[in-house]
Structures are given as C-alpha cells and as structure tokens.
Structure 1
Amino acid sequence: MKAIVIGAGIGGLSAAVALKQSGIDCDVYEAVKEIKPVGAAISVWPNGVKCMAHLGMGDIMETFGGPLRRMAYRDFRSGENMTQFSLAPLIERTGSRPCPVSRAELQREMLDYWGRDSVQFGKRVTRCEEDADGVTVWFTDGSHSALRPWVLGFTPQRRYAGYVNWNGLVEIDEALAPGDQWTTFVGEGKRVSLMPVSAGRFYFFFDVPLPAGLAEDRDTLRADLSRYFAGWAPPVQKLIAALDPQTTNRIEIHDIEPFSRLVRGRVALLGDAGHSTTPDIGQGGCAAMERESLTRQAGYAGILARLADVVAALIVRGWVACGCGNATGWVQVLRDPRLAKAIYAMHQRPGVNWKVEDLAREAGLSRSLFAERFLAATGTTPARYLTELRMRLAVQYITHEGQALEKVAFSLGYQSLAAFSRAFKRITGQPPGALRATAR
C-alpha cells in the first residue's frame, strides 16, 4: 500500500509523518521549488501542540514556541487594557502550553524531521485518475487546491473576507507590549496585534478593511500604516516605525464556504484543501495537525478500503488520544455507538426512505431521544442529513460515473425525476441537468 501526499505544508507533512509511523509507504510532492511560508508566525494551541507530540515532533514546539502566558485586548486610542487574562487555567486543564511559533522555523523543522531530500519539489498536480486498483492519494495542496474540484464535482469560489493583513517579526520591546503576552489593540474595525515567538521576537500583524486587488508598494508601507492608524496609541506608532517594510508580508484574507464532502474514492481532502479558513480563530494549522495526526491510531487497517470511514474513525481516536477535551459535533457522533449505527445504516443504504423511527430502531433508542441526540451532535436533522448525503452521492454518480439522471433518482429513493431534481437544486443550487452538461 502506498499513500501520496500532495503539498509539503504543515498539514501535508503532518499527514506524511503519521502515515510513515503507521507503516504506510508515503511519497510527498510539492508544487513549488522552494517553500516560502505565507505569514510570519502561527499560534499553535494545546490541541496542536499535543498532536505534534503525538507525531514525535513535540521537541520542535518546546524549542521554537514563544513564552505565551497571558492575553490582553487594549483600547486603540488610550492603549489601556479592556481585558487581560492569564492562560494558566487553560494550561492546567489541557496539560500543555500554547506555542506561538515562526512559520519559517516550523516549516524548516518539520521538513528536516520528514527528510527534506524525500520531498519532490516542483511537482504540480494537473489531474487525478482512479481505477479499481488505484493508489490512495492523500492531499493537502492548500487553499488553491487543484484536486478539490475533482473530489467535490464543482469548483468552490474563494471568498474575500474584506480585509488586508500585514505581518512580520520585530524584536521584543516592553514599550510595545509585555514579552509574555499576546496583546491586541482594537478599534475602528481594525486591529494591531503582537504575539511573542522564540528568540526574543514579536510576531505582529495589522488588519485593515480594504477592497481586494489594491497594489502593494513596500516603499510607502510605513506611510500607509501611519495613515490607517492615525491617532492610535503610542505602542502602535512605535511598531510602525520599528517594522521592516521589505520583510513585512501583505495578504488579502480569503476563505472558502465550508463543504461537507471531503472524500471521493481513494482521494481525501485534508488541511487547507478541506477547510480553508480565515486566521481569526487561530486554529487553521492546529486543525490540519489534528486531522493528520490521527493516522497513527490502532485499528484502522481493517477499514482502509472505505477511506471515508477511515478518516472519520481516526479523527475520533486522535481526539481521544490527544485528550483535547469533550468531543462535539461529528466526533461526538462517532464516539456514540448508537448514533454511529444510524449514520452507518444511511450510508450503506441511501436509497431507503429512512424515517426517524427506523433510524431510532437502528440506534436502539426511542424516537424522541434519538432525534434529540442526533440534532445536538450534528446540528441538523436525520432527514436533512439523508438528503445531503443523497445529493453528494448524486454529484458523484452524475459527474464521475455518467449515470442517467433517472437511474440516479431511483437509486437514491426518489419516485420521480421531478422530485429528485427539486431536492438536488435545493441543496446544490443548480438542477442536475446543468451539472450533467458541465461534466460532459
């Protein structure tokens, strides 16, 4: 068995390490000839730190993680604390400290851990093919994923989040902020933030609401930031004066509307390819680490033929092993053997017109208790879940298998093509005939 990882970013390298440690032969391909991390630093919270330790890379976090002990939000004009709190309760509860780390250092150390010479750089994916004897392809080829449309059956559009981010590194200076505190100045719909990383440095960023597509001019960066942040507190002005325009990154922030389908056959979307988010919640990298660290868990080999089942089961086991708190959402579903039985029944026989009482019987629960637990765990109803499952399958049957629409409709439990078409358009936003036309 061989796995192929497309993308040597944080998620891709985490996946490669996990697969290798599980005894699976793995090749890593990267489109660019040289890795140049986007953004100067990343906040790795205890869930990500634990996953890195789980993969044998805990020393990287301890060595290169900054001394983050507190957080504070400050008024943009006065510079006074609006709130300040210690991270000690978080550290005590999770048993791990957060580790803000330079992206360049994290990327370098992960590449070295995997083996830089083992990554095939300059290899860009152009298409994906699969047959009955095909290899399993794991890919995390980023928010510009070339394989995402192949898995989904359509090309999701990246969404501009409405703001531009400038970020970089400066030396820690107590006149800017305490060296063990993540400090954020907020006001006027903008923010300025300083987060300690290793080697006596702050990671900084400025966020400004601006139209997309404006030209970048490093020669005017200080003047531009001074204009955007005129009247802000003295530490903000001092930071603008201290930064190096030539090493400051400028990023127009985008994300992608979440989608439920992450797997097609032997191909799985992971990392930014599967969940490209804005950096606002500080969990993009941690989410990739979590997903990719799961592969080391015991008991996965017997179900590798069903890649969707593998991904789901490994997510559960990774959360349990990493001790990342109470499971919620799909983790809760899969940890609940009764709900899992009902989910499995729908996936095995999507053409059955499952009623709540039928699924409750599969789960061994009363109708009311099953409906309540299903909604609490998934955020949707059994009927809605079944419809969305059917439409995901329909996309695959239409675009990749070329099945006739009538056959698709009846195989998924619809008594007429019209009823199927209405449901398909309601869920996907387009009639099945239009999808079929684009797939030809």
Structure 2
Amino acid sequence: MQNLKVIIVGAGIGGLTAAIALKQAGYQVEVYDRVQELRPVGAGISLWSNGVKILNRLGLGEQIATIGGQMDRMQYRSHTGELLNDIDLNPLVAQVGQRPYPVARRDLQNILLEGFGEPVNLGCECIGVEQTETSATARFANGHDATGDLVIAADGIRSVVREYVVGRAVEPQYGGYINWNGLVTADADLAPKNTWIVYVGEHKRASLMPVAGDRFYFFFDVPLPKGTPANPETYQAELRQHFQGWAKPVQLLIDRINPAEVARPEIHDVGPIERYVRDRVALLGDSAHATCPDLGQGGCQAMEDALVLANSLISTNISVKDALLRYEQERKQRANPVVQKARKRAEKIHGKEPNLTQQWYAQLAQEHPLEVTNAISEVILAGPLR
C-alpha cells in the first residue's frame, strides 16, 4: 500500500522505531507524545541481538555500535562474591550473527530521533481514539486531533488506547520487586570493563553492565511490597541496608551512585492480551506486551513490532485492516510467550517460591556456559530476523 498517513502516539523506543521504519517505507508519519520534554525512562537497556538486527536493517547499525558497550563475557556471582559461572558470549554471537549492545537509554533515544529526522509533537496527551471505515483519529487533551489511515498506540504500559482495542480494562500486574538503576563511571574495582556481572542472593540482584562512554549501567533488584515509599535522599541508606554483607564491589557501587540520577521503578508487566488490533488502530510495544526486564527483551520486542508492522503494510494491497490483522497474528505468537517467560523468570529470581530460587542458585553454579548462551539464542532466533 502506498501514500499512507500514520499517526503514532508515543515517542519511546517502539514508537520511534516504528516511525523510522514507516517513514523509510514512504509513508507520511506524525509522532505525538504527552511529555513537554523527551526524557528516557530508566538509565540503560540491554539490546540483545534481535533488537540490534532491527536497527541494522533500518540503517542505524554504525550508530548503535558506537553507543553499545563491549560485552564479551557474563558472570554470575554469589552475593558474597564467589564466582558461580563465567560465560563467554562469543558462542552466542556466532549462533545469532550479531553482538548484543548494552546502551544508555538517552544515547539510544538520540539515535532514534536523529534517524526519524522529523519533529515530535510534544505536550499532546492522548485521551482517546476514534475511527471510520476509511480513517483513524487520535484525540488529545489540548484539543488537537490527528487523523490518518491508521493510529499506532505506542503509549506504554499505562496505555490509554489499550482498553479501546481490547474491549476491556487491562491493568499492569506488579512483578513483585523494585529496581534501582542508573549509570556510573566504569572502574576495574567494580567490574571488568568488558563483562556483565550479576550478583545474586537473598532473592535480590545487583548488576553492572558496560555501556559506551566508559560507563557501567547498574541495577539493584529487591522484592518489596507495591507502594513502598520512594525518597532519593535515602536511596543509598536503603541499598546499604538491603545489600548489607554483599561483596565489596556492590558496596563500592552503592557509594558511587548519584541518587538524584537514579530511577526506581516498581516492575510491572502487561498481558498476555488477546488483541493487539482493532480495525485501523494497533497497539505496539509496552501497550501490548510490557514485560518484566528479566529477559532483557522489552525494548527488543517493541523494535520487532515496528519491523513486522511496517512489513505487513508494505507487503499487502488488500487493506490497512488486513495488514494490521497479519501484524497482530505474528506478534501475538511471538510476544505473548515472552511476557510469560519473563514473568516466570522474575518470580524465580526474586523468591516468589523460595525453594525454586535456591534451586536456581544451585543451577547457576552447575550450568555449562553453552547452556546459558543456547537459552539466550533460542529467544533471539525466534524473532523476525534470524
């Protein structure tokens, strides 16, 4: 189909990737976001090879390589520092044909904005969508309406469009833990600069992952009740309490974080849901299938959505609605199982059933590194680009 006008609600990873793919297909694309200033949510993201391949396909491979961390190895250590498993990631790269790239979210967002090359309409809070047989319209709180041939709702885990598409309210589910994350200067006394290190124990995690600019992306996971109060002034004291007795690099990391620049989300997921599409309106990314970050696939799945949606529109001349149904069919089969797998892993890591978490710790110490990379490659190779 040619000469389509596409309205995208949401300028996050999924929305911008879709905007690039659809613009490259020759469509007129308008992107809207509710914020007054684009700021990435969270400090970093692990782009596994399936996500990187999407960006390569869109002509952004060189740019992504410049912001990606050199991650050659992955280590699991006990909370007191004993090595459980040391995993060479080169066999993974050989299996899937692309390096993974941990990146700072701001760096990634800047590359996507540059790749789109058009202004994003900010201060536009979507309050609903409408459609006719020939068009779809996004309505905004500021009184503006945007009408096109289709509307893509890439408006995140709290999507206002999802209920319209699915036909019922779908509330995000609490994943059972809180995540502190940010960026620190890379230093050998924290971790080797080419290694992703994960400390595990007491149903918690502390992690360091290399990104470009001589930095580590870090995160801490702690299972806590939903609604536990957050105060940046006490983040370091809280983390020292939660991770008391953990290995020295974990203590050094806590000392070096800048609490004012630390994100602290309560982890939620969405779905699996039964519909991604209603006629000329399609959900994309977290609005359709927000995942717990325990597989590192949230951003990658949104990027896969963008490519499949663009390919579905390009490759048919039947109708927009037919193309979107084909997108829905393919992506439900792919993304819904990822949501379930990520939640199951989150529960195992964070002690929902303590005996299963203890078994996982024991498994980490016994697993052959190739078993780990094979499991990662299985997820990656199930995507649209193999």
Give the shorter-chain TM-score range: 0.7 to 0.9
**Number of the residue aligned with 1:270:** 284
**Number of the residue aligned with 1:127:** 128
After superposition, where does 1:153-172 map in structure 2 within 5 Å?
Answer: 153-172=167-186
C-alpha contact 2:277 2:325 (8 A) present in aligned 1: no
Amino acid at match of 2:320: L
Bigger strand share: 2
After superposition, where does 1:20-59 map in structure 2 within 5 Å?
Answer: 20-59=23-62
> Within 2, Cα distance between the matches of 1:152 and 1:193?
36
Amino acid at match of 1:300: T
> Within 2, Cα distance between the matches of 1:301 and 1:54?
23
2:175 pairs with 1:173: no
**Number of the residue aligned with 1:308:** 324
Amino acid at match of 1:259: I
C-alpha contact 2:180 2:220 (8 A) present in aligned 1: yes
> Within 1, Cα distance between the matches of 2:379 and 2:79?
34
Taking a change above 3 Å as real, the CA distance of residues 301 and 19 of structure 1, as seen in their structure-2 partners, is farther
State the 1:304 CA deviation: 2.9
Taking a change above 3 Å as real, the CA distance of residues 30 and 151 of structure 1, as seen in their structure-2 partners, is same
**Number of the residue aligned with 1:83:** 85
Amino acid at match of 1:278: C
> Within 2, Cα distance between the matches of 1:130 and 1:142?
21
Amino acid at match of 2:97: G
State the 1:314 CA deviation: 7.3
**Number of the residue aligned with 2:293:** 279
Q: Highest relative contact order (Cα 8 Å, sep 6+), 1 or 2? A: 2
> Within 1, Cα distance between the matches of 2:49 and 2:227?
36
> Within 1, Cα distance between the matches of 2:382 and 2:52?
18
**Number of the residue aligned with 2:94:** 92
State the 1:237 CA deviation: 0.6
> Within 2, Cα distance between the matches of 1:280 and 1:313?
25
After superposition, where does 1:215-226 map in structure 2 within 5 Å?
Answer: 215-226=229-240
Number of matched pairs: 323
Taking a change above 3 Å as real, the CA distance of residues 130 and 46 of structure 1, as seen in their structure-2 partners, is same
Amino acid at match of 1:221: Y
Q: Which runs of 5+ in 2 are unaligned?
A: 136-148, 335-377
C-alpha contact 2:275 2:328 (8 A) present in aligned 1: no
Bigger helix share: 1
Deviations 1:330-361 (A, max 9, x none): x8xxxxxxxxxxxxxxxxxxxxxxxxxxxxxx
Aligned-pair Cα RMSD in Å: 2.2
- For the pair shown, the structure with the greater C-alpha radius of gyration is 1
Amino acid at match of 1:9: G
> Within 1, Cα distance between the matches of 2:293 and 2:52?
18
State the 1:201 CA deviation: 0.4
SS of the residue corresponding to residue 72 of structure 1 reads: strand
Taking a change above 3 Å as real, the CA distance of residues 215 and 89 of structure 1, as seen in their structure-2 partners, is same
Using structure 1 for the length normalisation, give the TM-score. Answer: 0.70
Taking a change above 3 Å as real, the CA distance of residues 193 and 264 of structure 1, as seen in their structure-2 partners, is same
> Within 1, Cα distance between the matches of 2:331 and 2:13?
17
C-alpha contact 1:181 1:196 (8 A) present in aligned 2: yes
Fraction of identical pairs, as percent: 45
> Within 1, Cα distance between the matches of 2:256 and 2:205?
17
C-alpha contact 2:179 2:264 (8 A) present in aligned 1: yes
Q: Give the one of 11, 14, 36 matched to 2:14.
A: 11
Q: Which runs of 5+ in 1 are unaligned?
A: 332-440
